[in-house]
């Protein structure tokens, strides 16, 4: 049995519709694997799980162990693909309250993310929180000039140099950037910071399995070998040019069939709060890859059962332009049994002896029945257990399906021309020279 499987029996898609799109899937596959499609210069992620730089990978492990030993706090500075993947993994696989555990129970530094906004209160309150603690920082930016992380790096570089002095500070500052050029690379070479590489042929939103994501993930104590093993097996499994066997291609095909039927909004849902940032990473992956040329499925997300009490009415009875993709974790990390209450004032004694996860699964099944009866197509992505191996495989699943889906849509899945527009306007308003 595969550790990740796809169930589209509730999608209202007939088998003949998938049969009709097979030829286009084959074309998209060949465009990607033969590097003939638009954006092919950014497809280094396709074979990366087998072709990564082993020397740098080992340096990531050594650096993570050093940080874990000498730091109480680890600050990750980045925005978009420079932080979302790492945060998604750290929060999906670690304790829900990781930073709040005692250092003994956590067995690693607290991890905080900054440089993903320009909020003064966020930055100042983080500085207040870490005061008096030993820290290391990892700044992630290919250019080194992206406004949000550049501002944060200025502030935290100054903080760490004042705390330790420049000589010791350089042993606590780690830079992940371009291998040859850019402001950060120049600074790192000048100051002697340890550097890791943002590969030239891998865009930010596809970079989680590179040093961009792996250093923070390793610092949290997770097993990056298992993550890469899962991605490597995903590369093999989702590289098969057979729509009947390739779940990743089935997902891409179903999304496009539904889009052509007027389903313009996809809602990625889960029943585990720890997957919130996985959903955020997924939104960037698909939104930035497909949303161009006046096309694209709008990627949204919801955490159930929580959001059933706020969005449930809209999903059930609103416009029929939504479809759902549900991440169903079959086996929870931990579980507990509900006990009988003598007074039974809440009327829940009928659940005595049942587990919390059993109730959660019945909520999922009941929601699936309700939403499909209301005409909302549902795709179920079943994951045996959320561990390092399956996380790595799931990341590759989404990356591969996103690339294929983008080619089916007729766009370049690897550029993001629209992102630059807000930057130009902001720089002009701020009075930056040249704007």
The 10s digit of each residue's pLDDT in 59-110 is 999 999 999 999 999 999 999 999 999 999 999 999 999 999 999 999 899 9
Q: Above 90 in pLDDT, residue 366?
A: yes
Counting Cβ atoms within 10 Å, is residue 360 exposed (0-12), middle (13-18) or buried (19+)?
middle
Q: Above 80 in pLDDT, residue 419?
A: no
Give tens-digit pLDDT for 337-351: 999 999 999 999 999
Task: Please report, rounded to a whole number, the percentage of residues in the chain having pLDDT higher than 70.
Answer: 100
Give tens-digit pLDDT for 320-333: 999 999 999 999 99
Catalytic residue among 288, 290, 324, 388: 288
Q: What is the mean pLDDT of the segment spanning 287-303?
A: 96
Rounded CA separation 144/191 (Å): 15
Q: Above 60 in pLDDT, residue 1?
A: no
Structure tokens at 379: 């795709």
Q: What is the mean pLDDT of the segment spanning 353-360?
A: 96
Facing residues of 302 across strands? 269
Q: Above 70 in pLDDT, residue 276?
A: yes
Where do we find the tokens 């049995």?
Answer: 1
- Predicted confidence at residue 107, as pLDDT, reads 85
Q: Does an H or E element contain 396, and which?
A: helix 388-409
Task: Please report, rounded to a whole number, the percentage of residues in the chain having pLDDT higher than 90.
Answer: 92
90 sits in the region (left: phi over 0; alpha: psi -120 to 50; else beta) called alpha
- Predicted confidence at residue 111, as pLDDT, reads 98
Can you state the angle between helices 388-409 and 224-237, rounded to 10 degrees?
40
Catalytic residue among 50, 295, 423, 432: 423
Cβ atoms 175, 198 nearer than 8 A: no
Q: What is the DSSP letter of 344?
A: -
Give tens-digit pLDDT for 395-416: 999 999 999 999 999 999 999 8
423 is catalytic: yes
- Predicted confidence at residue 423, as pLDDT, reads 79
Give tens-digit pLDDT for 215-230: 999 999 999 999 999 9
Q: Above 90 in pLDDT, residue 433?
A: no
Q: Does an H or E element contain 147, and which?
A: helix 147-164
Q: Above 80 in pLDDT, residue 259?
A: yes
- Predicted confidence at residue 386, as pLDDT, reads 96
Rounded CA separation 13/17 (Å): 7
Rounded CA separation 266/284 (Å): 13
Rounded CA separation 123/117 (Å): 9
Q: Does an H or E element contain 359, and which?
A: helix 356-373
Q: What is the mean pLDDT of the segment spanning 251-262?
A: 97
Radius of gyration of the chain (CA): 23
- On average, the pLDDT of the chain sits at 95
17 is catalytic: no
Identify the band that residue 417 occupies on the pLDDT scale cut at 50, 70 and 90.
confident
Q: Which domains does the chain have, with CATH numbers?
A: 4-37+227-412 (3.40.50.10490), 47-222 (3.40.50.10490)
- Predicted confidence at residue 402, as pLDDT, reads 98
Closest CA to 227 of 240, 236, 218, 238: 218
HEC per residue, 75-130: EEECCHHHCHHHHHHHHHHCCCCHHHCCHHHHCCCEEEEECCCCCHHHHHHHHHHH
Nearby residues of 217 by Cβ (< 8 Å), 6 or more positions away:
86, 89, 90, 224, 227
- Predicted confidence at residue 364, as pLDDT, reads 96
- Predicted confidence at residue 2, as pLDDT, reads 82
Q: Phi and psi of 303, rounded to 5°?
A: -105, 115
Q: What is the mean pLDDT of the segment spanning 22-41?
A: 96
Cβ atoms 220, 212 nearer than 8 A: no
């Amino acid at each position: 049995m595969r550790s990740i499987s796809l169930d589209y029996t509730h999608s209202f898609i007939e088998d003949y519709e998938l049969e009709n799109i097979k030829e286009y899937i084959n074309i998209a596959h060949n465009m990607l694997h033969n590097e003939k499609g638009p954006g092919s210069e950014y497809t280094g992620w396709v074979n990366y799980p087998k072709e990564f730089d082993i020397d740098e990978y080992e340096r990531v492990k050594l650096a993570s162990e050093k940080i874990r030993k000498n730091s109480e706090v680890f600050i990750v500075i980045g925005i978009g693909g420079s932080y979302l993947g790492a945060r998604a993994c750290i929060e999906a696989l670690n304790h829900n309250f990781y930073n709040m555990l005692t250092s003994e129970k956590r067995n690693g530094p607290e991890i905080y993310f900054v440089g993903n906004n320009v909020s003064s209160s966020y930055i100042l309150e983080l500085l207040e929180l870490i005061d008096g603690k030993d820290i290391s920082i990892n700044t992630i930016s290919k250019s080194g000039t992206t406004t949000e992380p550049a501002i944060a790096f200025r502030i935290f570089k100054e903080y760490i140099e004042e705390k330790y002095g420049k000589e010791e500070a350089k042993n606590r500052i780690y830079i992940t950037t371009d291998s040859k050029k850019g402001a950060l690379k120049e600074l790192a070479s000048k100051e002697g910071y340890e550097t890791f590489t943002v590969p030239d042929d891998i865009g930010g939103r596809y970079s989680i399995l590179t040093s961009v994501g792996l250093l923070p993930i390793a610092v949290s104590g997770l097993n990056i070998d298992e993550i890469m093993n899962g991605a490597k097996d995903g590369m093999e499994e989702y590289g098969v040019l057979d729509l009947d066997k390739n779940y990743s291609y089935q997902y891409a095909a179903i999304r496009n069939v539904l889009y052509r039927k007027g389903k313009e909004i996809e809602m990625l849902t889960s029943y585990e709060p720890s997957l919130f940032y996985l959903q955020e990473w997924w939104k960037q992956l698909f939104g930035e890859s497909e949303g161009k040329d006046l096309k694209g499925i709008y990627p949204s997300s919801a955490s159930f059962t929580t959001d059933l009490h706020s969005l449930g009415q809209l999903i059930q009875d609103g416009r029929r332009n939504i479809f759902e993709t549900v991440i169903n974790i079959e086996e929870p990390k931990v579980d507990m049994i509900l006990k009988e209450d003598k007074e039974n004032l809440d009327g829940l004694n009928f659940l005595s002896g049942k587990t919390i996860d059993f109730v959660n699964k019945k909520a999922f099944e009941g929601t699936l029945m309700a939403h499909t009866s209301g005409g909302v197509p549902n795709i179920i992505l079943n994951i045996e257990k959320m561990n390092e191996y399956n996380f790595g495989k799931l990341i590759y699943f989404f990356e591969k399906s996103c690339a294929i889906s983008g080619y089916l849509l007729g766009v370049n899945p690897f550029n993001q021309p629209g992102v630059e527009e807000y930057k130009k306007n902001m720089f002009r308003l701020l009075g930056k020279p040249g704007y």
